[in-house]
């Protein structure tokens, strides 16, 4: 399995830009999605489980998502030196209790670990929420993912008291829903 490795200079000064994802980005998004799971969730899931993840298993899903123009979903890619190093995806809220609020959900925001703390996540989040105006924005985050929780809290998101459990690798992982009015 071959992954595309982002090229980032030692100074971190290479340009970072965000654009709307295209169908041709599906492979790069699937690779980043898988690689960042392997990086970010090492403390939550077993190395055995994470190491066996295969980006090709996510490819069809990303292709379908990027083909679907009438779903209200939007995906943006973050590029450094024209290489996809992250993405953010948002769309209509999927939780039934959010429907009456005309809510938007941030489905995913993932960045290569070399991008963490550089401001790239801020730019991806801004792009994903750009069209959300006077609505509630919700997202789910693993309760133990303190890095992500701090990021969301920095951007005004707060836990709303709703929790769920996801089972992976024989573990039950607690998720917390965050909300913010945009």
**Are the beta carbons of 97 and 37 closer than 8 angstroms?**
no
Confidence of residue 182 (pLDDT cuts 50, 70, 90): confident
Residue 99 has pLDDT above 60, yes or no: yes
pTM of the predicted model as reported, rounded to 2 decimal places: 0.86
pLDDT of residue 97: 81
**CA dihedral sign, ordered 28, 123, 109, 63:** negative
For the residues 138-149, what does the mean pLDDT come to? 95
Whether pLDDT at 64 is above 70? yes
Q: List alpha helices for 14-144, DSSP H.
A: 26-40, 47-51, 56-67, 120-129
CB atoms inside a 10 Å sphere around CB 103: 19
Q: Is the pLDDT reported for residue 9 higher than 90?
A: no
């Amino acid at each position: 399995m071959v992954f595309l490795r982002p090229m980032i200079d030692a100074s971190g000064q290479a340009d970072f830009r965000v654009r709307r994802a295209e169908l041709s980005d599906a492979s790069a998004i699937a690779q980043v999605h898988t690689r960042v799971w392997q990086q970010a969730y090492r403390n939550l899931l077993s190395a055995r489980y994470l190491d066996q993840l295969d980006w090709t298993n996510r490819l069809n899903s990303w292709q379908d998502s990027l083909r679907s123009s009438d779903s209200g979903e939007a995906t943006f890619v973050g590029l450094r030196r024209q290489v996809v190093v992250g993405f953010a995806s948002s769309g209509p809220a999927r939780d039934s209790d959010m429907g009456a609020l005309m809510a938007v959900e941030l489905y995913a925001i993932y960045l290569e670990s070399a991008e963490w703390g550089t401001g790239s996540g801020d730019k991806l989040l801004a792009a994903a929420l750009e069209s959300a105006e006077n609505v509630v924005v919700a997202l789910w985050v693993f309760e133990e993912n303190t890095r992500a929780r701090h990021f969301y809290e920095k951007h005004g998101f707060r836990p709303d008291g709703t929790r769920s459990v996801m089972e992976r690798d024989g573990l039950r992982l607690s998720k917390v829903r965050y909300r913010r009015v945009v």
